[in-house]
Structure 1
């Protein structure tokens, strides 16, 4: 598997409520078990008597869930990779302010380039940065005699028909951001033309980013 880095995705979390003597911590997250299980076990080992409860939801469904339960919040932490989701929840008044320990914050840069990693007002925080972009399986490309794509515009080439896979932008926060990036980079008309032409080449559209083979 190979990729060309065309941007960055911030992995963020936000505090939704903060019970003083909680026996469990409820986390709403879009991440798969392969990722969150390590953090879950480490936290429970360091904090005996406190159980981590994971409520798995894709990003948009998570935002809807938090809005629907705002009268009686059930979650403590929202953990996804889409900054716009956090800003939406902040605008709705659904995020508590939080001040992480200084020894932790000192290890995380305040900005990546000119992009702020954390909410300046303390409603959400980034804790990891990952690359994203175009990815391809070298063996698959070779077997089907396809050129490796180098730009987003390459994906509109008819020779890729049936060979592309993407997660649904309506269900994946990361893919939603990718669509936004393309529209900003190419403009409204050219951007949508590129997305529609590339969409015609898709062999599958998955429900989640982690469902892309």
Structure 2
């Protein structure tokens, strides 16, 4: 009998015990944030939010801009509450697809920041902003006896050959904003000439936006363009990392948007309100998020390029294609020809006739063989074909894109051949 009683009591304890542990370890409510930023800078913000909402689990999902757009076009969007990014491309895609909810009007950005806010809508809240410029490793510069950079355009100097790195615009929305800034500031033809000339000095191309600052901080390379937050974080730990803002680059606001759900979680709105609170805004530049507060206008006091969101969206795919075709896939050829030109300029620096031939060779390798008018026409055609969601429309878009890329590739190769022929002519005249 005692054994039966003990067995019964043991069973009750087991049952109640399981109930206790299951309630103790019950799944917490989640707030899921999709972001184009790396996870580490957001941890102080999450920690602050959890002080108020201790029973809430905040989950951060990091994706690049292009990956985020693909992710949010699928049913997985039902699991996302907030989007946090500095990419106007991502936010514009979501707005166009009607995926974001209207936000309270009290969240409107200050007037002095409005020229840089893309896109202008009450579906997106601006919580801070960044600038962009040039980061370099001073120890590396001292070792290689390099002059201090005076901005992106200064990196065309042959002295920086093999010391520069940059991320690709197809994998970094901030890089694409930098390229569009150069094109807006200097015009289509001269802008691409500058970009191609700087690219000829590349040693590598980074697949990650924060890879530029990371490589430079480790001494792998010397200099490159970056958003300020990556450089500022490194400067707190490494005294040889230097950074200078570039007036040719636009300012880049940081945006947050709330994904439209059947029932939106009140915690998502609470997180946005926390980001705009005095406590967070006053600490934003000092913590690992490293953004300027929307109450701090110090960067706006200096002139910066402002961009048009409609132009950016219309050119988004095309700019990526041109960069990858003219630079990423041709970097070895571009670098080899540029080095040959550098050596020829040093060799014939006192011969005006030969310097004229060298200048012609430079014009060939730093020419984007697509006019702005032609580019705009192609983008309009692509947009129309992409708006047709049928199998036939998609096939026509892919065929049209490949035909265009083949044409550009052929013209790039032709300019490369002409440049090499001019350099060969120089050497041949010397050997005669």
Deviation, structure 1 residue 116: 5.4
Alpha-carbon distance between aligned partners in 2 of 1:35 and 1:151, rounded to the nearest angstrom? 26
Q: Which residue of 2 aligns with 1:150?
A: 150
Structure 1 runs of 4+ off > 2 angstroms?
108-111, 116-121
**What is the 5 A alignment of 1:1-213?**
23-69=29-75, 73-99=78-104, 102=106, 105=107, 109-112=110-113, 114-115=114-115, 117=117, 120-212=120-212, 213=214
Check the 8 A contact 1:109/1:117 in 2, yes or no.
Answer: no
SS in 2 for 1:115: helix
Alpha-carbon distance between aligned partners in 2 of 1:186 and 1:204, rounded to the nearest angstrom? 25
Check the 8 A contact 1:95/1:123 in 2, yes or no.
Answer: yes
Gapped regions of structure 2 (runs ≥ 5) = 1-27, 215-432
SS in 2 for 1:208: coil
Alpha-carbon distance between aligned partners in 1 of 2:80 and 2:67, rounded to the nearest angstrom? 14
Alpha-carbon distance between aligned partners in 2 of 1:161 and 1:69, rounded to the nearest angstrom? 47
Deviation, structure 1 residue 44: 1.8
Q: Deviations over 1:154-194 (max 9, x none)?
A: 21222211111112211111111001101111111111121
Alpha-carbon distance between aligned partners in 2 of 1:69 and 1:200, rounded to the nearest angstrom? 42
Distance change >3 Å, CA 53–CA 140, structure 1 → 2: same
Report how many aligned residue pairs link the two structures: 186
Check the 8 A contact 1:28/1:54 in 2, yes or no.
Answer: yes
SS in 2 for 1:192: helix
Alpha-carbon distance between aligned partners in 2 of 1:94 and 1:66, rounded to the nearest angstrom? 9
Deviation, structure 1 residue 118: 7.5
Across the aligned residues of Structure 1 and Structure 2, the Cα RMSD in angstroms comes to 2.2
Distance change >3 Å, CA 149–CA 46, structure 1 → 2: same
Deviation, structure 1 residue 87: 1.7
Alpha-carbon distance between aligned partners in 1 of 2:99 and 2:135, rounded to the nearest angstrom? 35
Q: Deviations over 1:90-122 (max 9, x none)?
A: 11212221227x4xx48x52432x515475531
Q: Which residue of 2 aligns with 1:8?
A: none
Check the 8 A contact 1:59/1:173 in 2, yes or no.
Answer: yes
Task: State the structure with more CA Rg.
Answer: 2
Alpha-carbon distance between aligned partners in 2 of 1:74 and 1:141, rounded to the nearest angstrom? 47
Check the 8 A contact 1:166/1:204 in 2, yes or no.
Answer: yes
Check the 8 A contact 2:133/2:151 in 1, yes or no.
Answer: no
Deviation, structure 1 residue 139: 1.8
Q: TM-score, normalised by structure 2?
A: 0.40
Q: Which residue of 1 aligns with 2:234?
A: none
Alpha-carbon distance between aligned partners in 1 of 2:74 and 2:93, rounded to the nearest angstrom? 14
